[in-house]
Structure formats: structure tokens, C-alpha cells
Structure 1
Amino acid sequence: MPTIAVYGATAYTSREHLLPYLINHADSASYTLILAGRSKAKLDALNESLGKAGADRRSVVATTLEDAAGVAALVGKSDIVINFAGPYQLYNAPALIDACVTAGKHYLDLTGESHYVANQVVPKFDFAAAKSGSVVIPMSGFDCIPGDLVIYHGLRTLQNKLGKGVAFAESTNFYEIGGGISGGTLASVSAAAEAEEKTDISDEWILTGASVTGPTPRPQLVYTPPAKVPNVPSYGAFFVGYIVNRTAIRRSWYLSRMTHPGPAHADNVPNGVAPSADFGFEPRHGDHTVFKESLAGFGKVRFSNSITAALVSLSFFVFAGLYMGLKFVRDLLKPYIPPPGTGPTKEVCEKGFTKITNVSVSDGDKPVAVVSRYDGKGDPGYYHTARVLAESALSLVLPAPKGTALPPLAHVGGVLTGPSALGMVLVERMRIHGVATITSEIVEVGAAESKKDI
């Protein structure tokens, strides 16, 4: 029976959302849980508060991430570790990743710090993880799996119909979200602003390696779909999540284009899923795809015209420039920002929503459009994030749903992404367990009706 360790188990998103979800999950009898963190007293209190359901399948481990022997012992008892102890660059997350990679165990976290992933995770652990078979997926919540996965689903739909020779020329996500403010996310933003080790966060290619690069679309005041199709948002404002999401999306693009896992690790791929030049059943991105994201609505407000979208974008740019650029502004606002480990009530989280409409247009002489829709339950930052994270972990340690299989890279390892490691297994698990549905349809550019719904 696989064991899932949750480090930083007393963090708000863990104790209020992830752990209750895992304890009451339909598959809960198929795995055991370790509640881990620094304080045994707090962990024991948390374990007691979670009730008697599944109590015989839960245990507590107290260790700090500075205690190498303690971390190794925790990882040795686990098949996968979920890390909530952020901001990750400040709380020694690399020590936990290193232990997982060394032991060939899997690792997930919720970091939104793409500069940290570029500087301290990909260059240090990607090759070693591929060598040991460890799957490392940073940014495994709302940042950045939903937007990445909806693109994956749309591309898969396109290539299932028209073949691997066609790909997306341009792909734009339109987000409509509702929910509370995340103290942990804001703490990560502050950590990024004050980080001593800087990476250009305006560069979407920072997770692809120095040898692979290309143009990064400039921020826009107003976003529109890349193709004229019905029943999609007409306008969008700049979306703050795009700054992080595009780096993960671009890494998925990069990983999809690898011709094979590599001769040094080919023996890690089990019989029946040996990769071909294009990963067999997995979609492959084209050479010059342009990715964009925008915010089409927040709460009950929809940005139905270009003026509204432009004003929202301008407001964000002014605030972001002041907050990221001036320490005294961050200090001034600090008393009004929820601290890490806090969040809105469960009722607020449950009433939230996470919706994405992706509009993509294919390359080639006769382009078609693909419209994909991601419909997720709950607010993005807490309720939905916890469930996406949980199903991502379960995708790696439990049998795949009928008709699905993990992508070949999941059997090789490395610093991966949701689509490249989990693919349709995660899509189907989220559908089965009521977390989110993803649908895609191919339409003629400018057409009024869909040509195919998959």
C-alpha cells in the first residue's frame, strides 16, 4: 500500500482542504498518510482533530528540513511527498527534493516561485531525478496545472483527429475565477520581490534550459481570442497568474518535443509503454507555438468590453510595479495582507469557482480552432488547488483509471509538469472524483458550430 507524506501538514491548505479530502476520498483505503512537520505537538493535535475516519492509516513524523537524517527517514517511509512548507526558497525545500530524488521517490509542491524552480530545482535535480526514477512536479496546484492541462487536452484532441503533423500556432487561456485571497501566494510574491538570487521572471523560457529559447509575448492591456469562434470570452485583461503559468506551459512544450527519454534511462520505461519518436499516444507541440493567458472575469464581474479589460490591466500594472519594486510599499501593505497559513472560510472556498476557456488555432494552410473548457469546483487558491494536488499525487501512486496510462516520462522521472507526468490519468481522475471536467471541440475558424466534440 503506497504512503503519502504531507510535509507542512499543519499549513492552512493542508489541514483545511487537502487532508480532509484525502481522508474522505473514495480511494482512501488504498493508501496511508504521514503527517509531517517541525512540531510534534501541533502534528498530534492536527491528527486528533481529523477524527477517527482512517486514523489507523495515519501516522505523525516530526523533523526539520535542516535535519538530513530526519528528512531521509521520512522519505524512506514514503512513496510520494507533498510539501506545503513555503515560501519554498526560504524554507529549505531543496533538502526535501534532494532526499526524494536520491531515494527515487516522488515529490510535489505548490510553489509559485518560477525563478526558484529555474535556479534551484531544474538545474540541480532534473538529471538526477531521471536517473533515479523520481518524478518531481513543482507548481502542482492552481499554479500551474489547470491552464497547462487544458492546453494539453486541446492539443490531444486536435492530433487525435488530424494527426501529429498539425499543432497549435497560438493558444490563449481565458480565466474566470472566484474565491478568497491566499496568504501563502502573497508571501511567495513578496519572497520573489526580495530574493537575492534573481532570474528574469518576464522570460517564459526560464524552465527550458539555456539552449532552448524564443520570443516572449509582451504584456497586453486587452486580450482577444486568436480565432473567431462562438461562445468564448471576447475580451480579457492581463492575468497575474500568467507570469508563473507560462513558464510551466513552456516547459510542457519543451518536454513534449523530446524525441525519447534518453538512452541512459530507457530501461526505466516499463514494457508496454516504450516511447516512440513522439511519445506514442502523447501529443507533441509544434515549433513556434505562442502561448497567452488572460483574466476574463472575477467573481460576478465579466469583462465584456475592451475598455473594462484595459482598465483592469492598467490597475494591475500600476499596483504590481509599486509592490514588486518598492520595499516600503510592501512594508506599508503587510499588516493588511493575510499571513501564510491563513485563508477564507470553507463556505467561501466552496462557493468559489475555477473556469478556463482555451482558444487555440492550428498551424498549416487550413487552420482550425480548438475550444477547450476547464470547469473546476471551488475557489482556485485553496479548495481547488488542494484537490488538484491530491489527485496529482494519487495519479502517481494508484492504478490508472480504465483507458488511461501515465505518459512515458512518468516512468523515467525528472523535473516534470502536470501534462508531461500525469496526462490523461489526471484528467480522468479529476472527472471521476468531481474535481474538474475538461472538454475540447474542433471548430472551423469563423464557424458557428463545432465539427467534433471529444
Structure 2
Amino acid sequence: MPYDILALGATGFTGKYISKYLNSHPERSGPTPFTFAVAGRSQKKLEEVKRELKLDQEVGLLVVDIEDYVSVEAAVTQTKVVVNAVGPYWKYADHVVRACANNGVHYVDLAGEPHFIKSIIQKYDYQAHKNNAILIPCCGFDSVPADVVVYLANKTAKSVLGPSAYIEDSISLYDLKGGISGGTLASAISSIEDIPKAVTAEAMKDFSYREPKGAPTKPNKLIYTVPVDGKTRYGGIFPMCPINRLVVHHTWSLFKRFQDRHPEKVYGDKFTYNEITAQSKYYQTVLYLFGISVFIVGILFPPTRWILKRFLPQPGAGPSPDGFFEVTNISHSGSSKIKTVIRAEGEPGYFGTARMISEAGLALALDFGRLPYKQTGGAGVLTPMAALGDVYIERMKKYYELQVESEVVSGDEGRKQR
């Protein structure tokens, strides 16, 4: 094949970040440099992006009509891995996923659209499995950090407390500085306006992606209090928690299906998961809840949504690359508590997301023989941790400079594992 990676949607806001990151990646100048191409609808815009980002001359340009299956398949069959940044995914990604599943090409995307993910599992999971294609949605800030911290908490529990240890109540505290792009807003609004409410509601149910199903999610609280390092942290529900939780549940189900072969992967039957936006003061949480409530109400009702459309960022625009994220996960295992922290510099939603999805694609292209996907039954529609596991985490630590720490902080006090 001519290319290891195909970056689809390279002329968009996130697509440019992905293309720039791939172009400057250290492995591009190694002993066996990977090859990649960028794809979009317009040859002219692709050439402009190539000049703007100063992409190497070796970087290919592929014109793809995302709504024409023949055009999509012609591009997909020229690569090992498709990195798809074209949303809304329910509207534009079906041909891409189908072509990858049919031709044994691996696929990663940034879909935070449960109805889309549920549909591709139903339509393409078997075909992808048969053709040894790994398809991984949600490979950006939604929902890689959530999947990673729970995976590491379980690994630490078993390493320190014994192989029969399981994790139970698990909550992640998000602390970040970032923004939102016009494309993300457009996808969110499109889902609200164009997807039947019943379809969305069905996809948002606990463990909706596949069997088996685990413990139901506990009812949400208005304000959470979580002790961390001797201090009380406060928080309201993290906006992307419902989507991130579905990915964590999907990983739970994939690990549970093969618990007899790989018991070290299993989280446990009492496992539940939640996320909050972390605050140090109670009043900060009240203000946060007020702001997020106003935004949700505004985007749900047509008159205020029309106003928001006019004043919020438009597709192609987005935040600056400055920022950071830190996710602290507290998971319980019997009387013990595991604290897992991951952190990285840079705005997480786009700057960080470009790195997360790129490293997922590179893991599939360059490290395929070391990936743990067979431990969850083989190829198909998987999650970051079920498909890529430790290989992916190590790549992000090395190239994204992701900081990772996981330890038991009560019970068997303070024995760090990573």
C-alpha cells in the first residue's frame, strides 16, 4: 500500500492539527519512516493546507467525495489506517467505516455520537472481525482519558492487591483549560435537530453497545464531594460523561466476554463509573452548574439554538492550542482506594485530541503485532484500551508526553505501579 496513514478531513480545524502532528512526528525521520496522505473534498484546499502547514513533499493528496462510496473506497484501499476527522459522523462516516470493514483497513475517529457508534457495531462489527479490521471510535479527548484511567486503576488494583481484586465505584475528576470548535458545535446541533429522540435515548442506555451488561449507573447527584489527598474536591457532572461512560462500559463488556482467558482484564461485576468537573470550592461548582444549565437549555430549544448558531464559533474555527488537562480517577476495591492521574499540556479538545487520535492510528500502523486486541476476541468495533492497551499508553507517554501515575492510596498504602 502507498500509505501507512490516511488523514481524512485534513482541511478542517482538527484535521489540520492531525496533519501537522503526523508531519512532524519523530518516527517520520526514523530508520523506517511511516508514510501518510491527507484527504478532503477539494484539491485546491488540500494544496493550500499542504503549503500552510509546510507538509513534506512526500505527503500525498487524495481528493475524496465522502458521500460517494466508490470514491471513499478508492482512497481507503490505498492505506493501512484511516484517521477520520470528518463529522458529524452519523452523516458522513458510514461509507468510510463500511469501506474499512470490507477491505481490512483499520479505522479511528473522534465520534462522540452514541447513535452512530451503536449503528456501526450493528452493521459492520462482524465484517470488520472477519477481515481483521480494527475500528475504534472516540479516539480523542472523548473518550481516551476516561478509558485509560479506568484501565490503569484496574491494572494497579490487580498488581498491588492481588489478581482476584476488582474495582467497584469509580469516579474521574476533570480539571482542564480548553475550548470548543465550530465543527464540534455543528455536530452537537445536528444530532439534536436530525436524530430522532428515541434513537438517541436507546443509544444512551447503560451498556447499550453490546452484551454482556454490568451494574446500572447510580443516580446522578447535583453536587459531588470527593476526598483526594486529604482535601475535598467538589464537582457537577462532566458534560461528556454520558458519552465517555458508554466507552468505558464498552471496554467492560469486551473484557468480560473473555474473562476465562484473560481474568486480569476484568473490572468486576460491581463496577460503576461517573465523571465530574472538578472544583476546589463549593461555590465554584454552583456557578459551573448554572452556566452549563443555561447552555444546555439554550441548545435544546429552537429559538435560543438559532441565536447560539449565530454567535458561537463556526465550522473551521476553534480555540488556541494553549491549555492543559488533568484527570484524577478514584476507584475502590474492597476497603482499598486507587488513585490514577493522567495529565498533559496543551488545549485538550483539539490540540490534545489530534495527538491522541494520531498515536492511535500510528499504533495500528506501526505496532500492530504487539497490540492486545485478540484478548478481547479479535478485530471489529473496539475501544482504545480493548484494542491498543499498554502499547497505546506507552506511545502517548513517549510522544505526547502524557504524564501517568497510578497507586493504591489506602489499604496497602502508597505502592505506585506506573
Tell me the TM-score normalized by structure 1.
0.85
Deviations 1:111-158 (A, max 9, x none): 11112212x211111122111111111111001011111111111111
Which residue number in structure 2 is paired with residue 186 of structure 1?
A: 185
Which SS does the other structure have where 2:200 is aligned? Answer: coil
C-alpha displacement of 1:215: 2.1
- CA–CA distance in structure 1, aligned partners of residues 290 and 60 of structure 2: 49
* Matching residue's letter, 1:154: A
C-alpha displacement of 1:231: 5.5
Change (3 A) 1:81 1:42: same
C-alpha displacement of 1:98: 0.3
- CA–CA distance in structure 2, aligned partners of residues 172 and 246 of structure 1: 10
* Matching residue's letter, 2:116: Y
Contact 1:88 1:111 in 2 (8 A): yes
Name whichever of 126-135 and 215-224 sits farther off: 215-224
C-alpha displacement of 1:219: 2.7
- CA–CA distance in structure 2, aligned partners of residues 67 and 289 of structure 1: 43
Q: Across the two proteins, how many residue pairs are aligned to each other?
A: 411
Deviations 1:79-126 (A, max 9, x none): 0001111111122x11100000001110111111112212x2111111
Which residue number in structure 1 is paired with residue 262 of structure 2?
A: 279
Deviations 1:199-226 (A, max 9, x none): 21652322235x636523333221233x
* Matching residue's letter, 1:334: K
- CA–CA distance in structure 1, aligned partners of residues 303 and 113 of structure 2: 22
Deviations 1:344-368 (A, max 9, x none): 2xxx31x2001100011013xxx21
- CA–CA distance in structure 1, aligned partners of residues 298 and 237 of structure 2: 17
Contact 1:427 1:437 in 2 (8 A): no
Matched, 1:323 2:289: no
Which residue number in structure 2 is paired with residue 130 of structure 1?
A: 129
Tell me the percent identity.
Answer: 32
Contact 2:298 2:304 in 1 (8 A): yes
Unaligned 5+ residue runs, structure 2? none
Which residue number in structure 2 is paired with residue 371 of structure 1?
A: 339
Which residue number in structure 2 is paired with residue 9 of structure 1?
A: 10
Which residue number in structure 1 is paired with residue 166 of structure 2?
A: 167
Which residue number in structure 2 is paired with residue 270 of structure 1?
A: none
Report which of the two has the higher share of helix. Answer: 2
Q: 2:275 aligns with which of 254, 273, 293?
A: 293
Change (3 A) 1:188 1:164: farther
Q: 1:450 aligns with which of 410, 414, 418?
A: 414
C-alpha displacement of 1:193: 1.1
- CA–CA distance in structure 1, aligned partners of residues 46 and 230 of structure 2: 48
Q: 1:423 aligns with which of 364, 370, 389?
A: 389
* Matching residue's letter, 1:396: L
Contact 1:168 1:362 in 2 (8 A): yes
Change (3 A) 1:233 1:35: farther
Which SS does the other structure have where 2:67 is aligned? Answer: coil
Which residue number in structure 1 is paired with residue 316 of structure 2?
A: 341
Pairwise CA RMSD: 2.3
Contact 2:373 2:379 in 1 (8 A): no
Which residue number in structure 2 is paired with residue 265 of structure 1?
A: none
- CA–CA distance in structure 2, aligned partners of residues 164 and 38 of structure 1: 51
Tell me the TM-score normalized by structure 2.
0.92
Which residue number in structure 2 is paired with residue 413 of structure 1?
A: 379
Matched, 1:354 2:325: yes
Which SS does the other structure have where 2:224 is aligned? Answer: coil
Deviations 1:326-355 (A, max 9, x none): 1111111111111122112xxx31x20011
Q: 1:397 aligns with which of 358, 365, 369?
A: 365
- CA–CA distance in structure 2, aligned partners of residues 206 and 322 of structure 1: 28
- CA–CA distance in structure 2, aligned partners of residues 279 and 221 of structure 1: 38
C-alpha displacement of 1:232: 6.5
- CA–CA distance in structure 1, aligned partners of residues 371 and 380 of structure 2: 18
**1:1-400 → structure 2 map (5 Å cutoff):** 3-15=4-16, 17-29=17-29, 30-51=33-54, 54-56=56-58, 58-91=59-92, 93-118=93-118, 120-197=119-196, 198-200=199-201, 202-209=204-211, 212=213, 214-225=215-226, 228-230=227-229, 234-259=233-258, 277-279=260-262, 283-296=265-278, 303-324=279-300, 326-344=301-319, 348-349=320-321, 351-363=322-334, 367-399=335-367
Contact 1:101 1:134 in 2 (8 A): yes
Which residue number in structure 2 is paired with residue 266 of structure 1?
A: none
Change (3 A) 1:231 1:420: farther
